[in-house]
Amino acid sequence: MDLENNLRSEIDKWTKKIETEMKNVKVIDKKNENFLTNIRAYIKDSKYFLEKGDLVRSFEAIVWAWSWLEILKELNVVDF
């Protein structure tokens, strides 16, 4: 598989996973709701860059979304 197809595959895989996770995520303290807004923005950015053919930025954005979600899990800011 070439680099472009590999990136597209990874972007698609991680986008589907995070969208599934986000359906069930709940903020433990409502004052932290803005963190979920940021995650959703990164997901939206990833899709925008993918549509424009900018695979590197698309992948980077979806990785940032996952990073935020994992950090919030570790800090017990969100629950599922």
pLDDT digits (tens, 9 = 90+) for 26-78: 999 889 999 999 999 999 999 999 999 999 999 999 999 999 999 999 999 99
Full domain range(s) for residue 19? 3-79
Instruction: Please state, in angstroms and rounded to a whole number, the distance separating the CA atoms of residues 26 and 11.
Output: 24
- pLDDT the model gives residue 37: 96
pLDDT at 18: 97
Give ∠ CA 14-19-24 in degrees, rounded to 5: 130
Report residue 53: phi and psi, to 5°: 85, 10
Q: The CATH number of the domain where 34 resides is what? A: 1.20.1270.90
pLDDT value of residue 80:
87
Distance separating alpha carbons of residues 9 and 55, to the nearest angstrom: 10
Q: What is the pTM for the complete model shown?
A: 0.92
Rg for the chain, CA atoms, rounded: 13
Q: How many domains does the chain have?
A: 1
